[in-house]
Amino acid sequence: MIDFSFTEEHTATADLMRDFCAKEVIPGIRERDRTHEFDPDLLGKLADAGFFGVTLPAQYGGAGQDYVSLGLLCEEAEYADTSTRVIFSVHVGLVMLPILTWGSDDLKDRYLPKLCSGERIGAFGLTEPNAGSDVVGMQSTADADGDVYVLNGEKMWISLADVANTFLMVAWTDREKMKARDHSGLSAFIVDREMGGVTTGSIKGKLGVRAGNTGWISMSDVRVPKENLIGNPGDGFKIGMFCLEQGRFTVAAGATGLVKACLDASVQYSQSRHTFKRPIGDHQLVKEMIARMSAQYEAARLLWLRAAWLKNTGRANTRETSMAKWIACEHAEHAAAEAVQVHGAYGFSDEYPVERFYRNSKGSSIYEGTREIQKLLQADYALGIRVDKKRSRRLPTAEELAAN
């Protein structure tokens, strides 16, 4: 049975993030967005507030909360600015949860407490200059050499690339399977910047998420201990898809927060702006736009909450998470466009935040699996072409998170 009510813990978690963003994010976001400047101090502040460990068991320094709490954090973070939510998608969704699920006890003990405390910041290396959705088109390799793997390759469009010191990388460990485009030849590793041979740089000129750090990673003969392999050799594709699924969940929840931000901004503006001696909120076509945003917010929230419930109970949720990501991000794009329209000429200026919302909304329909990829997934499920197989690993349930 699905319970649609929030616990006191859920409400308190959302309130904490809302208050945090009001103090640490919103006051300076317009200027950081203008200058394309990432605030590195934000990482430490988020860690000190305990947000990074929300879904980690207490044994690793976490709070042992459930996936609804994680979704609410992402909603509130993106309500303030997408760049803040991206930190959770990457550090928690793409790095910490995969290590928790796929890592050996040694990897979990070595990395999770430091990732939780913010001593280490994670980034995820899957996308390459010529390989995005076509994962098996990647060219990064990891060759065994005694007790290490030697990694070489390039990664592109990597969030937190310049500020991370721990990277979850996917590379080919079987060159014959690489030639055959057989994804069972991919493996996953934890790579530390201190291992040497890792170079990163920032990407400038982005349409949106300008206050976030996005960059590239170059690996040149990086010697990674074999104990830093995640899962088994050949598990890289499965781990990569698992990472993306967790990322999609956080993106869906975040996009829902963006819809709410567009709605609230439009309501406030339509009540204060007057034309023809009336608040513009009295005009029917403005009402129509606000009504649609309200419905889009409710629909998007229900979709990610369903995915969270499935995660909490240990059930498969690839289909539901994909649906939530697709629809929430599409709603965010539409709501942002209409929010600009409600604001008229002022919506075309960064004097109001809806201009930033509009630019930020586009990225979510591309990263963590494009809108088109999500549509193909949903069609294949509906047609019976795709059927989920029993998995060798799953996320800890909410009960397991709280117990450890």
For the annotated catalytic residues, the residue numbers are 368
Residue 197: CB atoms within 10 Å: 16
Q: E strands, 251-323, where?
A: 274-275, 278-279
The Cα 113–Cα 296 span in angstroms is 38
Work out the widest C-alpha separation in the chain, in whole angstroms: 79
The residue whose two tokens read 């390799």 is 141
The residue whose two tokens read 């023809």 is 276
Nearest to 65 by CA among 54, 80, 75, 76: 54
Q: Is 200 helix (H, G, I), strand (E, B) or coil?
A: strand
The Cα 225–Cα 237 span in angstroms is 20
The Cα 136–Cα 322 span in angstroms is 20
Q: Which residues of 112-129 are buried (b: 16+ CB within 10 A; e: fewer)?
A: bbbbbbbebbbbbbbbbe
- In single-letter form, the type of residue at position 267 comes to V
C-alpha dihedral sign at 112, 114, 115, 121: negative
Q: Is 369 helix (H, G, I), strand (E, B) or coil?
A: coil
CB 247 within 8 A of CB 174: no
